[in-house]
Structure 1
């Protein structure tokens, strides 16, 4: 009874005291002609370099790169796709797509193997930023120094609507933001994607409530690495990517560094930015979570133990209390379990609606949380077996063990 009451109390606190994380109304304001009340257009549109790190991405590029090439942006913009040691012809395919679709200029670069202490993605981002900084100035918005005003860091599996870049820049300029990030809408098509993916974003928002992230005085900082618009001056002031070169969870590290250096950041859910990468099988989703879950816990066994206990009390106790109360005929744990389970399911409904999924998935959140608990434990086991954070043929050790 007391454990069930503790779970109910935890849910009451989460719903009211954790930045209203369960709400899905933190979105980039629509600022086009249909919304005259939105931010005004800049007098001079700043220049933008779109940096796309790509490693073995030939399967998704045909669905994502044309959307970048087709960006309807009034200012100077150029795409820099960094082929990070691909073995599937990613760079060649990118050039072919640019020749076929036209649109924004595309430069394909290759940085070679990552330097000591660098993760592959950040090494590629560094190379892309270097390519962009050496481009000749093409407009007054470039500042005349060969650099660019903004960097759009976007993953190779992210597809953008034609006005995506315009809206990101307009929001940044109108609100004085140094970093604007949108959590791309992930693909949800198969059974496992429906069960796992909306919860992934739900749990992320619970860890990093968007309202807290967007509050200038709050310590909470996070970004979604698939779509990050970064002001170049803020990047230089924060010393990125060098200062975060060892970070496996690079998007959160980037936002934290920018915010600590005095920058203003914003994070919200996307309406017009989508991931096209499929995760049809449970094993693929498991790998996506397990590769960095223990890194999120700072490779700390105590934090792992507390996380497992917290997940159990918050997500697993309510259905167990309902079953136990019903089987033993004790109304107190039954009532507390039903109330906690109802609050849990109710808080999940907005995310399911955002992903256009059936609301019958809401009561299954304890099952999904149990899978995430197992993924987190598996992440720790992999680390202690020497597997570390593995992704696309590379394994990253914990920072203290990195040369």
Structure 2
């Protein structure tokens, strides 16, 4: 067998393991667990950190204010040093749309050791605790919620005994670059953090999706959130791990009526979204970076190359291993494309998308070592700390 044939065989073995041994990550049927409505609906405070979100706020904030929730609920929007009138726009939207009570506050610039978002979340949670809510809904300013979203989240947490329930919001997929990159983003995330494993008691896998996290207030206090994760760039995964370490029961799944309204019309926009935190995910470790690059090449790039080169050179073992590996890759991607209502033929582009993610990850490391680190909306965290280790 040629060297490429051995590489293709290794890729096929990897794909067979991913297919059967990685928590069936490729399935998209992990939705909100069975709901049981409480006899008395608990109070909830919705905390929305917002920095320069005037473009998306008219689509997202009214959906929160219009929540059909039987218990007491209110919204706290924390204007994190916006320069585009986010705070004033939020007040104007509340005046025009009515609905749940809205408080707009500003915490000032974050002190050393804090990311801007988590400093805003800390301020919002402090304001919320003055109302003594039983639950906190942490949601981003670009997330639009269906009218029964809060009700369904609370019922799911109550019925399943969860301390944290998180939904991976359906990201916007409208332009060509979004179609190419966005479904793969969620597919790769699920591959790293299989949703089925996260909801099991005692599981080691912990993750959340920061756009929509319902959290019991007492669980947040036990976990020391957000102070315990104040340095985390990947704050949602760090939050889930902190809650799990403190004995909490967590759950993560895909959303049906929770949507991100933020557009990513250019490849550069998507590139920044990924590269700002990719190297932090690897704990800023050069060996992990090299392993990730090699792994992406073996798992995603080798199968199509082995098939094409094997057929061209008459290398039967190479083609026989590469073809089935690419087939398994393609088939496991189809459910995610179906979830995003995209045509099945896009599954054939997954190797190309994986190559783009490989380049984004390398770029993330380059930015880190240039001191530009994780940059977001005018703030740069040159050498941010990674999320706490999973225990």
TM over 0.5: yes
1:116 Cα offset (Å): 1.6
Partner deviation per Cα, 1:339-383 (whole Å, 9 max, x = no partner) = 000000000000000000000000110000000000000000011
Tell me what 1:9 maps to.
13
- My pick for the range that moved more, 3-12 or 324-333, is 324-333
1:254 equivalent in structure 2? 239
- Pair 1:127 & 2:123 matched: yes
How far 1:40 moved relative to its partner? 2.9
1:97 is paired with a residue of what secondary structure? helix
Distance (whole Å) between structure 2 residues aligned to residue 75 and residue 83 of structure 1: 26
**Alignment match, 1:90:** 86
SS at match of 1:172: helix
Indicate yes or no: 2:137 matched with 1:156. Answer: no
Partner in structure 2 of residue 305 of structure 1: 290
1:200-279 correspondence to structure 2 within 5 Å: 200-279=185-264
Q: Does 1:375 align with 2:370?
A: no
How does 1:327-338 map onto structure 2 within 5 Å?
A: 327-338=312-323
Number of aligned pairs?
382
| Deviation of the 1:212 alpha carbon | 1.1
| CA distance in 1 between partners of 2:217 and 2:36 (Å) | 21
> Is 1:26 aligned to 2:11, yes or no?
no
Q: CA RMSD in A?
A: 1.0
* Alpha-carbon distance in structure 1 between the residues aligned to 2:84 and 2:385: 33
- After superposing on structure 2, the runs of 4+ consecutive aligned residues of structure 1 that deviate more than 2 Å are 397-401
Tell me which residue corresponds to 2:389: none
> Could you tell me which residue of structure 2 aligns to residue 349 of structure 1?
334
Structure 2 Cα separation of the partners of residues 87 and 321 of structure 1: 52
Q: TM-score, normalised by structure 1?
A: 0.94
**Rounded Cα–Cα distance in structure 2 between residues aligned with 1:278 and 1:397:** 26
Q: Which residue matches 1:51? A: 47
TM-score (structure 2 length as normaliser): 0.97
**Partner residue of 1:68 out of 64, 68, 72:** 64
Return the alpha-carbon distance in structure 2 between the equivalents of residues 258 and 131 of structure 1. 21
Structure 1: stretches of 5+ with no match in the other structure: 30-37, 136-146
